C-alpha cells in the first residue's frame, strides 16, 4: 500500500474544504470495506485519505408520513438490516442489506459508501432505485438533490463533483398496496460477488390484480444498476396473469447487457437468471395479495 496522509475532519465544512483542496488526490473513507481493499491491491493510490466517521449527525434513520424516509450516509448496513421501522415500511431495503457480505462487513460498511463505490453489484442500490430514491449532497457550491438513477455514471463512477459528499438518502412514501422483493444469485455464499441481482417493486390493485406501477431493477448486467423500463411498460396498467409475467421476465432479460468475458458467468447465463429472478419475484409479490 502506498503511503498516504490521514485526515480526520470534525465537521462537514472541514471535510468539504479538504476534498476541494486535494481534489483527485483525496479519497473519502467511512466503513472502508471497499476502499482499504482497493488500496491494498494498488488499484487506488490516494495521497490523502479523509475519514468522515467522526463527523456527527450523519448516522440516522428517520421517517415522516409526508416526507418519507431519510437515511444518513454513515448509517451502517447492519442498522438497515436490523431496523424494525424499515422492515415494516421499506422491507426491500432490509432484504438487500442482510444479503451484503458477512455480518462483520455489515457492521462497519455504510450505506453512503456502498452507493459511492458505484459498483453495479451494490445491494442497496438495487432496492433504493426500485423505491425511486434520491441522494442529497453537499459541496463547495452548496446542496444538491440528485435522483439515484442519475447518480451512477459508470463502474466506480458517480455524479459527485470535486469536494462533494453524499450526506443523505431520501426515499418517498410508497403508494398504497406496494410491495417489493430483492434477490441475488451467488455461487459461494454471502461474501461472494453476485452473478445477478434483481429488485422488483409492484403496486397492485388487490381486487382485480391490475398492476398500477412496477419497478424492475437489474444489477451485475451493465456498467450501472439499470431499470428494465420496457419490461415495466408491458405490465403497467394490465391485469397480471402468468402469461404477462413470463413476457415481462423475457423482456427484462433482453434489456440486460452483461459484459462479455466475465469470469463469474456468461452473457447467456446472466440473461437467463434475470428472466428467472424477475418471474419469480413478480409471482411471489402477487401471491402475497391472495
- pLDDT tens, 74-99? 999 999 999 999 999 999 999 999 99
- pLDDT tens, 177-223? 999 999 998 765 555 677 899 999 999 998 899 999 999 999 999 99
Residue 248 CA to residue 228 CA, distance in Å, equals 9
- pLDDT tens, 111-123? 999 999 999 989 9
User: Strand, coil or helix: what is 87?
Assistant: helix
pTM above 0.75? yes
User: Strand, coil or helix: what is 49?
Assistant: strand
Residue 70 CA to residue 133 CA, distance in Å, equals 10
Contact 9, 28 (CB under 8 A): no
Read off the C-alpha cell for 186: 451467488
> In order of start, what are the domains of the chain with their CATH numbers?
5-51 (3.30.43.10), 61-171 (3.30.465.10), 179-288 (3.30.390.50)
pLDDT of residue 192: 60
Alpha helices in 201-241 (DSSP H): 229-235
pLDDT of residue 260: 83
Question: Which DSSP state fits 23?
Answer: G
Q: Where is average pLDDT lowest: 135-149, 200-214, 257-271?
A: 257-271
Strand order, beta sheet including 61-64: 61-64, 68-72, 165-171, 134-139, 142-147
The answer on pLDDT for 41 being more than 70 is: yes
**Residue 132 — left, alpha, or beta (φ > 0 → left; ψ -120 to 50 → alpha)?**
left
Residue 92 CA to residue 102 CA, distance in Å, equals 18
Amino acid at each position: 500500500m502506498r503511503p498516504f496522509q490521514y485526515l480526520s475532519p470534525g465537521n462537514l465544512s472541514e471535510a468539504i474544504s479538504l476534498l476541494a483542496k486535494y481534489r483527485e488526490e483525496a479519497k473519502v473513507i467511512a466503513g472502508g470495506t471497499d476502499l482499504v481493499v482497493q488500496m491494498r491491491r494498488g488499484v487506488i493510490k490516494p495521497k490523502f485519505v479523509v475519514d468522515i466517521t467522526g463527523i456527527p449527525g450523519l448516522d440516522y434513520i428517520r421517517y415522516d408520513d409526508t416526507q418519507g424516509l431519510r437515511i444518513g450516509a454513515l448509517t451502517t448496513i447492519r442498522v438497515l438490516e436490523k431496523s424494525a421501522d424499515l422492515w415494516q415500511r421499506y422491507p426491500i431495503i432490509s432484504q438487500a442489506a442482510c444479503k451484503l457480505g458477512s455480518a462483520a462487513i455489515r457492521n462497519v460498511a455504510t450505506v453512503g459508501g456502498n452507493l459511492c463505490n458505484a459498483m453495479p453489484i451494490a445491494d442497496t442500490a438495487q432496492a433504493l432505485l426500485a423505491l425511486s430514491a434520491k441522494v442529497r449532497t453537499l459541496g463547495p457550491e452548496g446542496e444538491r438533490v440528485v435522483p439515484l438513477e442519475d447518480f451512477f455514471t459508470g463502474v466506480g463512477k458517480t455524479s459527485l463533483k470535486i469536494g462533494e459528499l453524499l450526506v443523505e438518502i431520501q426515499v418517498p412514501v410508497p403508494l398504497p398496496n406496494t410491495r417489493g422483493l430483492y434477490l441475488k444469485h451467488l455461487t459461494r455464499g454471502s461474501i461472494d460477488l453476485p452473478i445477478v441481482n434483481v429488485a422488483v417493486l409492484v403496486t397492485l390493485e388487490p381486487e382485480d390484480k391490475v398492476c398500477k406501477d412496477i419497478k424492475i431493477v437489474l444489477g451485475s448486467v451493465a456498467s450501472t444498476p439499470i431499470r428494465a423500463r420496457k419490461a415495466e411498460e408491458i405490465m403497467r396498467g394490465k391485469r397480471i396473469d402468468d402469461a404477462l409475467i413470463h413476457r415481462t421476465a423475457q423482456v427484462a432479460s433482453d434489456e440486460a447487457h452483461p459484459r462479455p468475458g466475465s469470469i463469474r458467468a456468461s452473457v447467456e447465463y446472466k440473461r437467463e437468471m434475470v428472466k428467472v429472478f424477475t418471474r419469480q419475484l413478480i409471482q411471489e409479490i402477487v401471491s402475497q395479495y391472495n
